[in-house]
Chains A and B, each alone.
Chain A
Amino acid sequence: MKPNTTPNAASGTTKAARGSRGSASGKAGAASGKTGAASGKTGTPSVMASASARSNVVIRKIKTGVAGLDEVLGGGLPEFSFNIIAGSPGCGKTTLAHQIMFENATPQKPALYFTVLGEPPIKMLRYQQQFSFFDQAKLDKSVRFVNLSDMVLRSDLGAVLAEIIKVVEEVGPSVVVVDSFRTVVRKAQSMNNGPGSGGSGGSGGSGGEVELQGFVQTLALHLTSWQATTFLIGEYTDGELRDNPVFTVADGLFWLYQSTERNSIVRKLQVMKCRGQETVPGLHTFRTTGDGLQVFPRTFGLTAPSDKKRSTHRHSTGVPELDTMLGGGIAAGQSVLLAGPSGSGKTILGTHFIAEGLKTGEPGVIAVFEELPNQYVARATKMGFKLDEARKNGTLEVIYLRPLDLSVDETVNEIVTAVKRVKAKRVVIDSLVGFELALAPGFRADFRESLYRMIVALTRLGVTVISTVEVEEDFTSLGLSNYAISFLSDTIIRLRYVSLDGQLRRMLMVVKMRSGKHSIDTREYEITSKGVVIGERLRGYQALTTGIPGPWGWGPARDAGPTEGASRRGQGASRRGRGRDLE
């Protein structure tokens, strides 16, 4: 067993207890009086106790071995708890139980895995050993599989119970799993419904229910007194939750869901019940990879203490004239929205920003959704940005997120993990449109909330974030983005095509900046082989922001006939989702 405690906690006294209360050895000290004292970090005392009673029992928390799950559980699983893992077939119940088992089993305190009538054990071993957590060396000495299927078929419920108790008493395990417990329940029901059974004949017959409840109670009592943390695995539907006595007896109830949204599969976990724990409520998405389950807590990045320090430092964008327009650069720890139409140079400006950081020793992360990292880097290299070198020396990560069924939490997790890995100071998200497409359809409906969570999680880490967003050009107004998300951005830089003197030219402007004064100029810029080069302020025109300006003194731009270039582009322009109109 590996309780998520320090050695002191294991002996019944936490560091916090000694520090804050000086309670007698062996007594449970209240770790600041909050169950959340267990931060889920290794080595943190994770003992729950009421602040008001020093002699309360110490409930230790054991690690689940599932990334993100301990955070959802409020620090780990309560030791000696009696839990149910429920869900439909194929949603990951067995894998979850195996992860917990392999995490905690030792030769001194082994784990017992009883298989009843479910997945044939040989096949289960065949598939489970594909996961990285499956440690063959632990089999037999630390992890033992016991097959009860013959007994379930042959004997009554009492014999099954007796066998479980017998083996548990012999082995003295730390973790016990019964998979699939549903079969045991059906056995109980069939016994009561069978001819001559004297049962009521219905699945809800009182005889069957009482016997089943008795079985569960006895099993729970025995396993608890044998100091084992227990898991019953079963295939249940939501509707069964009300009537089944098993759920009443259980200390913990973990429900796994698997839903199809258009062509995407989304898996979610809910901790419906966890006695004595301050869990994170709600549905948390999870993914099954070669490492097993990984849970993405829905509060990921939003609850941890902020690393953001007040800083007056400004990051250069890598384009000197843009820095000037921004009053010296982008304020550290802020979020910038780079909005513009296709081909306007958003990606290149993002690359400038990252490359400049790398030059000054600030690691970066680029999250790309629309092209592969190697393509992105190759294009940057052609322009003279040395991203490849930075990737090799570990100061830059270019991560590709495009599986089309991502959850927001998963995306945030990927980016935040990369930020922490390279100790990034700068992040570019290219682009928000790609991000939206990468999400499973169900999450796209809450895209604004998703962006909020992502930007907040990143800026709380103190990194400076540039997000690019494609804006469909409109020749009568100046949209900032299609998402109405400008409230999330401290700074907005707008790139725009403009029709001037029979040419389709580019201009940029700083629309908003929370951290100080910024230029109000509209500046022309060019995309050269070396990147973005900003030119002079565009003078002598009116209605520049419409994209079809005219000279001062000329009639209102909107009344003028469109220029050649504007006409061509205007035909394809859509008004879909137009954002805030500046004009």
Chain B
Amino acid sequence: MAAISPASRSLARRLLAIELSRARKSSASPAEVPVPPAARVCDKLRAVLITFAGVAGFRSLLTRALTLAAARAPELKGVTANPDASLAGLDGVIGGKKKAAAQEWEEVLVAQLLDLLVMFVGEGLMHQMVRQAWPDLPVGPLRSKTEDKS
């Protein structure tokens, strides 16, 4: 099994942080159970990708990412892709778990999805898709090559 690239890990961490922050801001009350950041990240990528890849196209990518991620974090085995290519079961898996562990699993899942995109459509197009989903991301490289070398 190929290692997840450090650059994808780093980008996944950034995206998850952004979505966590947004989820907190948009949450109506502290009692509300927030949508896990990884689900929000996947959903944003889904919106961009289904335009050209179709629901089935994105779902197949997500399913593959889940399989690869579950090999590293077996707890993710319970997570699946819905017919509309959204994530199912993630909140159940990470709910009540230690924050650090949950963060790690989410990071693995998102990084795996980003790695797959890089593998299939290349770094450039993956960046474009991410920027489409998060237009307010700061200008500059999203993944640095030095991270991949480290």
Task: Say which one of A138-146, A292-300, A368-376, A507-515 lies at the interface with B.
Answer: A138-146
| Residue numbers in A under 8 Å from B121 (CB-CB) | 122, 125-126, 129
Task: Judge whether A136 and B128 touch: CB under 8 Å.
Answer: yes
- Please name all residues of chain A whose beta carbon is closer than 8 Å to the beta carbon of B124 when the two chains form the complex: 129, 136
B56 proximal to A (CB < 8 A): yes
- Give chain A interface residues in 101-153, CB to chain B under 8 Å: 113, 115, 120-123, 125-126, 129, 136, 139-140, 144-150
Q: Is the CB of B53 within 8 A of A147?
A: yes
Q: Is the CB of A129 within 8 A of B125?
A: yes
Given the known interface contacts A126-B122, A139-B128, the answer about A120 and B51 at a Cβ–Cβ threshold of 8 Å is no
Q: Is the CB of B51 within 8 A of A147?
A: yes
Within 8 A of A (CB), among B52-72: 52-57, 61
Please name all residues of chain A whose beta carbon is closer than 8 Å to the beta carbon of B128 when the two chains form the complex. 136, 139-140
* Given A136-B124, A139-B125, A140-B128; A121-B56 close (CB under 8 Å): no
Given known A-B contacts A126-B120, A140-B132, A121 and B125 have beta carbons under 8 A apart? no
Tell which of B56, B61, B122, B132 touches A149, judged by Cβ atoms closer than 8 Å.
B56
Give the interface residue-count category, chain A: 10 to 19
A147→B125 contact, CB < 8 A: no
Q: Cα distance A47–B54 when bound, in Å?
A: 40
Contact A150 B61 (CB under 8 A): no
Chain A residues in contact with chain B, CB under 8 A? 113, 115, 120-123, 125-126, 129, 136, 139-140, 144-150
B50 is an interface residue with CB less than 8 A from chain A: yes
Could you show 21 A-B contacts with beta carbons less than 8 Å apart? A113-B52, A121-B52, A121-B53, A122-B53, A122-B120, A125-B52, A125-B120, A126-B121, A129-B121, A129-B124, A136-B125, A139-B125, A144-B52, A146-B51, A147-B50, A147-B51, A147-B52, A147-B57, A149-B54, A149-B56, A150-B54
Q: Give the size range of B's interface with the partner.
A: 10 to 19
Given the interface pairs A120-B57, A147-B57, A150-B56, the reply to whether A125 lies near B125 with Cβ below 8 Å is yes
B52 touches A115 (CB 8 A): yes
**Do B57 and A122 have beta carbons less than 8 Å apart?**
yes
- Pick from B52, B120, B121, B125 the residue with the most CB of A within 10 Å: B52
A214 to B17, CA, bound (A): 52
Smallest CB gap from A117: residue in B: B54
Q: With both chains docked as a complex, state the minimum distance between the C-beta of A82 and any C-beta of chain B, in angstroms.
A: 23
Closest to B48 in A: A140
Residues of A within 8 A of B51 (CB): 144-147
B50 to chain A: which residues have CB within 8 Å?
147
- Kindly provide the distance from the CB of B132 to the nearest chain A CB, expressed in whole angstroms: 6
Chain B residues in 8 Å Cβ range of A139: 125, 128
Chain B residue contacts of A150, Cβ below 8 A: 54-56
